[in-house]
């Protein structure tokens, strides 16, 4: 908890994935501790329902400084999609989408599509994220969209050829901020760019601090052993800075 708090308190907005707390006590406890730890901001959160096609369920949780930005709306992708139910079964967990208003950054309004792919269906799900993007663009009439999360977009789950064939990879309007050669895994023996940040929209692209998108190596930063770091997560969070409108700086963290 202590390390998680330190990581989250660096950011104006954080997306936490793979929350598997059926009793629902962990996130309120986290928020309480976070607000006690960092009194310079007021942290709030928006959690998804428990998502999963079978008995295995996960939640997405956005944690954000409500003195810095507002979450204006949210939805789960198939709510938008009036296709036959079979078509919506592409995702093991529905992407959780939010619309942000951020007065302190150059880009004032943008959308975040948060998603955690099923490893064995990573290619198929990433391909379908293009359809989620199109639905969001239509619903909220915006080009400024950020997709982020553990997409399992590397190593054993996707091939180089497979990545190359993705619609979001072929379309030059999408910028993949976390590169294929970066490592988002904690274990020394692995080197995979599973977690990604993908952005779309001229305004959002020009509103990003160049080269700021990186995995945050909390193991090194907080001088943890590999074992201690793995107790926090087996992934490093990925983050990006948005250009401030004045003297502010906005961090986006997974």
Contacts of 124 (CB under 8 A, 6+ apart): 90
* SS3 state of residue 180: coil
Q: Does residue 5 register a pLDDT over 80?
A: yes
Reply yes or no on whether 58 is catalytic: yes
SS (H, E, C) 41-54: CCEEEEECCCECCC
Confidence grade of residue 250 (pLDDT, cut at 50, 70, 90): very low
Q: Tell me what pLDDT residue 247 has.
A: 55
Average pLDDT over residues 238-253: 74
Q: What is the dihedral of CA 17, 126, 135, 91, to 10 degrees?
A: -60
Reply yes or no on whether 235 is catalytic: no
Q: Tell me what pLDDT residue 211 has.
A: 95
Q: What CATH number is given for 2-253 in this structure?
A: 3.60.10.10
Q: Cβ-count burial of 148 within 10 angstroms (0-12 exposed, 13-18 middle, 19+ buried)?
A: buried
Report how far apart, in Å, the C-alpha atoms of 39 and of each of 19, 29, 31, 46, 73 are: 25, 16, 12, 20, 26
Average pLDDT over residues 185-191: 97
* pLDDT above 70 coverage of the chain, percent: 93
49-91 confidence digits (pLDDT tens): 999 988 899 999 999 999 999 999 999 987 655 544 555 579 9
* SS3 state of residue 63: strand
126-141 confidence digits (pLDDT tens): 999 999 999 999 999 9
Catalytic residue among 116, 200, 235, 252, which? 116
Confidence grade of residue 200 (pLDDT, cut at 50, 70, 90): very high
* Residue ranges covered by each domain of the chain: 2-253
- Output helix, strand, coil percentages for the chain, rounded to the nearest 5: 30, 30, 40
149-165 confidence digits (pLDDT tens): 999 999 999 888 889 89
Catalytic residue among 41, 45, 47, 58, which? 58
Q: Cα 143 from chain centroid?
A: 18
Q: Tell me what pLDDT residue 252 has.
A: 45
* pLDDT above 90 coverage of the chain, percent: 85
Q: Tell me what pLDDT residue 130 has.
A: 96
Measured over the CA atoms of residue 3, residue 118, residue 13 and residue 73, the dihedral's sign is negative
């Amino acid at each position: 908890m202590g390390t998680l708090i330190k990581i989250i308190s660096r950011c104006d907005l954080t997306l936490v994935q793979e929350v598997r707390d059926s009793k629902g006590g962990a996130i309120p406890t986290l928020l309480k501790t976070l607000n006690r730890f960092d009194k310079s901001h007021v942290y709030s959160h928006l959690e998804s329902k428990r998502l999963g096609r079978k008995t295995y369920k996960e939640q997405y949780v956005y944690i954000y400084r409500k003195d810095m930005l507002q979450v204006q709306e949210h939805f789960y992708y198939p709510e938008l999609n009036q296709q036959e139910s079979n078509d919506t079964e592409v995702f093991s967990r529905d992407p959780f989408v939010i619309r942000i208003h951020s007065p302190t950054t150059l880009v004032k309004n943008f959308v975040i599509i948060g998603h955690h792919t099923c490893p064995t269906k990573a290619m198929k799900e990433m391909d379908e994220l293009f359809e989620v993007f199109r639905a969001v663009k239509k619903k909220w009439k915006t080009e400024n969209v950020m997709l982020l999360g553990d997409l399992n977009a590397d190593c054993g789950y996707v091939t180089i050829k497979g990545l190359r064939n993705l619609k979001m990879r072929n379309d030059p309007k999408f910028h993949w901020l976390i590169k294929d050669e970066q490592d988002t895994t904690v274990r020394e023996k692995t080197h995979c760019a599973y977690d990604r940040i993908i952005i779309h929209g001229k305004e959002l692209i020009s509103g990003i601090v160049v080269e700021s998108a990186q995995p945050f190596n909390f193991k090194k930063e907080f001088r943890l052993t590999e074992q201690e770091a793995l107790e926090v997560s087996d992934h490093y969070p990925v983050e990006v800075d948005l250009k401030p409108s004045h003297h502010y700086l906005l961090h986006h963290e997974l």
